[in-house]
A and B are shown apart, each in its own frame.
Chain A
Amino acid sequence: MSVTELATPPPAPPEPPPALTGRGHDKTPREYAFRAILLACLGVGVVFLVVLLAYVLIEGWPRLDLDLFRNQASQLSPATAGAQAAILGTLWLMALTALIILPVGVLAAIYLEEYGDKNRWYNRLIELNIQNLAAVPSVVYGILGLGLIVRGPLDLGPVLLAGAIILALLVLPVVIISSREAIRAVPDSLRDGSLALGATRWQTIWKTILPNSIPGIATGAILALSRAIGEAAPLIVIGVAGFVTFNPASLTDRFTALPIQIYSYASRPQEDFIILSSALIVVLLAVLLVMNSAAIFIRNKYQRRW
């Protein structure tokens, strides 16, 4: 082997063929116009969002004060009225709804992913039903609550427990669907490894599959919860009142919630009430922002890629 031979560079690898993107035609006016139209479509949504956020922030700014949290709702003095009962009501609802949807949603997802035999008619019925429920309007869940829970057989009245049950049923399909995805993402090799070591089916699920799917389940549950606490329609239908001036203290207390409070202030024509409901919208959106950020944080920090 001579020195010259070593010095010659190896032959360059052949150029890969250029990726086909249609770029060569990109310069015609029609292509530009089409692209501009598509961007404009997206722009409408984005501009709407920006204007909406700016509007509620500017409108609500004068009343974004501690009175919102310190004072109770009032129909007479909007300049100092607050929404303490509504804010606490929403926190109560959030906690209770989470307590219902987490166990039920996760157990249902485990059943459908790990146990349910897809060839059995009742399992297919459950799946089809979940698909369908996800598209049932929220106001219809209110009707279910009114007819069976608030009045009728259970006769609870428009209390916290009734509100939480209805919101939980409303978002349960979302929780089940996202939990199933989280469980499905755990690779079979982990399952097989656990079973091969002699673990039973449930031990495998409890000790191997669930710990590995918790980030995905938590993300889905938080997103579902944030949808639940923004809902007003089903609560209005079960008769949750707009002006409640005492804080809820137990499951069987009457209550109100932020979206209802916003609605009842917004339906009054006086400017002061509009300002007040803008301020409450900012509070509600801030809560939702925190929840969504938490969900994204959990997803990015803990979710494993297999």
Chain B
Amino acid sequence: MSSTTKATGAGVSLRRSQPRIGERIIEAVLFIAAFITVLTTIGIVIAIIGPTVAFFREPAVSAWEFFTGTEWTVLFSEAQREFGVLPLVTATLVTTVIALIVAIPLGLGSAIYLAEYATPRARSLLKPLLEVLAGIPTVVYGFFALTFVAPEILRPLLNVGNFSMLSAGLVMGVMIIPTVASLSEDAMSAVPQALRDGAYGLGSTKMHVATRVVVPAAISGIVAAFVLGLSRAVGETMIVVLAAGSTPNFTLDPREAAQTMTAFIAQAASGDQPTGSIGYESLFAVAALLFAITIVVNFASIRLVRKYREVYE
């Protein structure tokens, strides 16, 4: 009896020596489902690369002109085409900067209030309101920027036209507040109470604790929130399509109308460009630039977070 258990029991394992076939098949199916996400990324890259390469192979296009030219008239007739992408890039830059000027202070302020000041009751009332703000479709924000913010607020105050990077950027900033606020708040809530108690014990006021202890301790999460807000602003489409204007315009003046990269993609695509035409290829080239920018921003944020992360036990 004891000898048999010894013989089979060497390194007792609960795993069957012969795995069930059905279980292996199930695991394979599950893996395929998870791998679909990787295929999505591969699909994006494949979809973008072909037409982008074709775009730069066109005799009329040079990479130098693309990155340094200040006129973008790809959808014009052949004789008038210019291929400088900078006007689209500056418009994206201006709207993004305006959005961040709005979203970073307001989002961070909201987060500090929710994490450090609000009573549980106030929190349970205010947080869902921010979530509602986050759940509103961007086409609704764009509509609001075009039909209310621009004509009713900005025109009387600053005398800007119906389409401006300013109105698109401001509304986009409000759209991003919940993103910045909720991620920053998560980071601040994760700061251990002992740090706060220590600061209070040394005689700090509530404001000092919030600004000099909690925010610095949560800085990696807060920066990650800013970066996510940045990538949302760069990639936002419907607000800028509706409110920023539909003509490429090489300017940094936020009161002017200008077309961003995303707005160009949406506009050119809705014009039903024939497959293989230079207009069709150009929208993939702009998408490639946009995709590259968001990937770089993303990886930068992941690295930043790793570098500055404070780990508390």
Contacts and interface: CB of A to CB of B under 8 A. Distances in A.
Contact of A202 (B23, B34, B137, B241): B23
Contacts of A51: 148
Interface stretch (A68-76, A81-89, A213-221, A231-239): A231-239
9 contacts: A21-B206, A111-B34, A137-B262, A140-B294, A143-B48, A143-B287, A232-B139, A233-B237, A281-B143
Nearest to A238: B269
Nearest to A47: B174
A42 interface: yes
Contacts of B295: 132
Contact of B283 (A28, A35, A39, A143): A143
B43 interface: yes
A45 B130 contact: yes
B135 A139 contact: no
Interface string B93-128: 000000000000111111011100100000000100
A20 B200 contact: yes
Interface centre among A35, A147, A200 (most CB of B within 10 A): A147
Given A20-B196, A263-B238, A42 B113 contact: yes
Given A31-B207, A135-B228, 16 more contacts: A21-B200, A23-B206, A26-B206, A41-B105, A42-B114, A51-B148, A107-B30, A112-B34, A136-B235, A139-B237, A148-B43, A232-B137, A259-B139, A266-B143, A284-B137, A288-B137
A209 interface: no
A173 to B, nearest CB: 7
B266 A111 contact: no
Contact of A133 (B40, B110, B137): B40
A152 B43 CA distance: 12
B5 interface: no
A110 B210 CA distance: 40
Given A20-B197, A139-B287, A292 B135 contact: yes
Interface in A219-252: 226-227, 230-233, 236-239
Nearest to A151: B275
Given A125-B38, A129-B38, A144-B40, A111 B235 contact: no
A230 B283 CA distance: 23
Interface in B1-44: 20, 22-23, 26-27, 29-31, 33-38, 40-41, 43-44
Interface residues of A, number: 89
A42 B126 contact: yes
Interface of B: 20, 22-23, 26-27, 29-31, 33-38, 40-41, 43-44, 46-48, 50-51, 105-110, 112-114, 117, 126, 129-130, 132-133, 135-144, 146-148, 174, 177-178, 181, 196-197, 200-201, 204-210, 228, 231-232, 234-238, 241-242, 262, 265-266, 269-270, 272, 275, 283-284, 287, 290-291, 294-295, 297-298, 302
A126 B177 contact: no
A44 interface: yes
Interface string A7-21: 000000000000011
A185 to B, nearest CB: 17
Interface of A: 20-23, 25-26, 28, 30-31, 34-35, 37-42, 44-46, 48-49, 51-52, 55-56, 59, 103-105, 107-108, 110-112, 115-116, 125-126, 129-133, 135-144, 146-148, 151-152, 169, 172-173, 176, 200-202, 226-227, 230-233, 236-239, 259, 262-263, 266-267, 274, 277-278, 281, 284-285, 288, 292
B206 A22 contact: yes
Nearest to B32: A107
A137 B143 contact: no
Contact of B206 (A25, A148, A262): A25
A209 B237 CA distance: 40
A135 B295 CA distance: 8
B269 A40 contact: no
Main secondary structure of the interface of A (DSSP, over half): helix
B109 A136 contact: no
Interface centre among B50, B105, B205, B269 (most CB of A within 10 A): B269
B164 to A, nearest CB: 16
Contacts, number: 265
B269 A237 contact: yes
A142 B236 CA distance: 13
A139 B144 contact: no
Contacts of A233: 138, 237-238, 241, 262, 266
B47 A148 contact: yes
A89 to B, nearest CB: 15
Contact of B110 (A38, A116, A130, A278): A38
Contact of B139 (A169, A263, A288): A263
Nearest to B197: A20
Contacts of B238: 232-233, 259, 263
A52 B144 contact: yes
B313 to A, nearest CB: 21
A112 B209 CA distance: 39
B95 to A, nearest CB: 13
